[in-house]
Amino acid sequence: MPAVQETVERVKRIDVDQYRYGFETLIDTEKAPKGLSEEIVKFISQKKNEPAWMLQWRLEAYRRWLTMTEPTWARVDYPKIDFQDLYYYAAPKPKKTVNSLDEIDPEILKTYEKLGIPLREVAMLEGVEPKVGEDDPSRRKIAVDAVFDSVSVATTFKAELKKAGVIFMPISEAIREHPELVQKYLGSVVPTSDNFYATLNSAVFSDGSFVYVPPGVRCPMELSTYFRINERNTGQFERTLIIADKGSYVSYLEGCTAPQRDENQLHAAVVELVALDDAEIKYSTVQNWYPGNSEGKGGIYNFVTKRGDCRGHHSKISWTQVETGSAITWKYPSCILRGDNSRGEFYSIAISNGFQQVDSGTKMIHLGKNTSSRIISKGIAAGKSQNTYRGLVTAHRKATGARNFTACDSLLIGDKCGAHTVPYIEAKNSSATFEHEATTSKISEDVLFYCVQRGLSQEEAVGLVVNGFVKDVLQQLPMEFAVEAQKLISISLEGSVG
């Protein structure tokens, strides 16, 4: 049988059901009644013991949301979402203040163990350092905040971070403990009126991570948040706010998984980054939400607003994302290059297989003088998936000397998938230099045959070629996660060729 035909056959039999994180955790949860109303918004705010200003903020967002309609410009297709048919709040029971790991539901701990999230292994108990010899000194420490459905269940290394002056805690706690910081920065990058999903998030977000790095501090470890949707019919709306004060540096990673379910689940997060003068934020994502089964049933609808504001001069924000999951991805991590000489970067690997639909890219908005940005996007489409890169590069008329370099490469596996590139470029001043390169290629039968002739299996061959294709982006991930991401890429493409 000719190889092309074989590939097609294989893709037909594709088994997306091999999603490794599809298990469900059986625990008691407390849920708000289904549907969305001012009462629900008040309920969430009350549950979180929020101050009045926060409730007011949410209600304004909610009222705004009622006047908005869902965006339809993305190249994705899905049945209309009934926003009254969702739960907007779910929390593992019982929920009092958790002081040590032992007070966390063992089922939840088991879940994170299965997911390979090191909550217990790495000196989880607050302030307890690993015993000598227990921790491999060559391995850098990673502080983890774990968010289960709507609630943050554990944050590790809090004490050690506190010593350095770094605040890393659930945003619900930050609202109570650091109201001045939250009030100053929340909504300052993604305003409550920004877009349909961001506004919805502003009204109902229940948790997420908060990071503040004080002036001149280089955060002593990688910070990481792990998001897990468990409940049925529950939307996850987390909110992340990271502030890097003058001359500071922080590297942050988020990971996401969800159980395998027949119905679609909504995830609408907002991430705001603020980098002040000379500060740098490196934000990495390994997104592995459940992508749906082989018939395209189920999977997460991922409608996320991520934006970084290079507010200070010489500041830098770098987004790196590895997107392998979700039935639908609608996501454009962006940089507002406000400060003079600031720099924005976007490195992306988006893999789609089965019936997945990806519409993702970035916006680089050059406002300050001599600002620069770099976009490296690698889209890989297999199965019957559709993979779109959508990007905007724009230079304000005062942004003299703005520079951008964009390279968008797409790789097709099989002949039932599609790759699309939609770049928008606007320069309002003549001194801006924008470069755009794009390629689309098919993984050739000749390359695969060459590899298998040398002893690699078909799947090893595809993995090797794809990993070569995405190498420039993988190099941007923190070491620990690059290896993980490489494995994830191979798993996502299993069964994509004959």
Partner 1 sequence: MALLEVKDLKVRVEEREILHGLTLTVNEGEVHAIMGPNGSGKSTLSHVIAGKPGYEVTDGQILFRGEDLLEMSPDERAAKGVFLAFQYPVEIPGVTTMNFLRTALNAQRKARGESELMVPDFLKKVREVSKSLNIPQDMLKRGVNVGFSGGEKKRNEVLQMALFEPSLCILDEMDSGLDIDALRIAADGVNALRSPKRAMVVITHYQRLLNYIVPDVVHVMSKGRVVKSGGKDLALELEASGYAQFEDAA
- Note the residues at the interface with partner 1 (CB under 8 A): 1-3, 6, 444-447, 449-458, 460, 464-465, 467-472
- Write the single-letter amino acid at 130: P
Quote the least distance from Cβ 352 to partner 1, whole Å: 20
Residue 160, Cα to own-chain centre: how many angstroms? 26
190 near 134, Cβ under 8 Å? Answer: no
CA distance 405 to 425: 11
For residue 97, the tally of other CB atoms under 10 A from its CB is 6
Phi, psi of 380 (to 5 degrees): -125, 120
Residue closer to partner 1 by CB (options 133, 455) is: 455
CA distance 467 to 440: 16
Residue closer to partner 1 by CB (options 298, 463) is: 463
Residue closer to partner 1 by CB (options 53, 450) is: 450
55 is written with which tokens?
A: 């409730």
Residue 318, Cα to own-chain centre: how many angstroms? 13
CA distance 360 to 75: 10
Residue closer to partner 1 by CB (options 130, 468) is: 468
230 is written with which tokens?
A: 């468990």
484 near 494, Cβ under 8 Å? Answer: no
Quote the least distance from Cβ 412 to partner 1, whole Å: 16
Quote the least distance from Cβ 485 to partner 1, whole Å: 15
First to last CA, the chain: 10
Distances (CA, A) of 384 to 7, 31, 133, 353, 361: 12, 36, 50, 7, 20
Quote the least distance from Cβ 456 to partner 1, whole Å: 5
Quote the least distance from Cβ 449 to partner 1, whole Å: 5
167 near 145, Cβ under 8 Å? Answer: no
Mind giving me the DSSP string for 92-124?
ESS-S---SGGGS-HHHHHHHHHTT--SSTTT-
Quote the least distance from Cβ 445 to partner 1, whole Å: 7
Quote the least distance from Cβ 447 to partner 1, whole Å: 5
Residue closer to partner 1 by CB (options 147, 473) is: 473
Residue closer to partner 1 by CB (options 1, 132) is: 1
Residue holding tokens 């001599």? 370
Beta strands in 216-279 (DSSP E): 222-228, 239-244, 249-257, 264-267, 270-275
Quote the least distance from Cβ 413 to partner 1, whole Å: 15
Quote the least distance from Cβ 312 to partner 1, whole Å: 35
Residue closer to partner 1 by CB (options 46, 457) is: 457
Using left for φ > 0, alpha for ψ between -120 and 50, and beta otherwise, residue 220 falls in alpha
Instruction: Give kind and range of the element (H or E) at residue 153.
Output: strand 151-155
Residue closer to partner 1 by CB (options 107, 459) is: 459
Residue closer to partner 1 by CB (options 180, 446) is: 446
Q: Report helix, strand or coil for 356.
A: coil
Q: Find residue 412's DSSP bridge partners.
A: 381, 442
CA distance 274 to 185: 8
Quote the least distance from Cβ 411 to partner 1, whole Å: 11
Beta carbons within 8 Å of 176's beta carbon, 6+ residues apart: 49, 50, 51
Quote the least distance from Cβ 380 to partner 1, whole Å: 13
Quote the least distance from Cβ 143 to partner 1, whole Å: 32
Residue closer to partner 1 by CB (options 30, 472) is: 472
Beta strands in 14-87 (DSSP E): 29-31
CA distance 244 to 184: 13
Residue closer to partner 1 by CB (options 107, 445) is: 445
Residue closer to partner 1 by CB (options 93, 471) is: 471
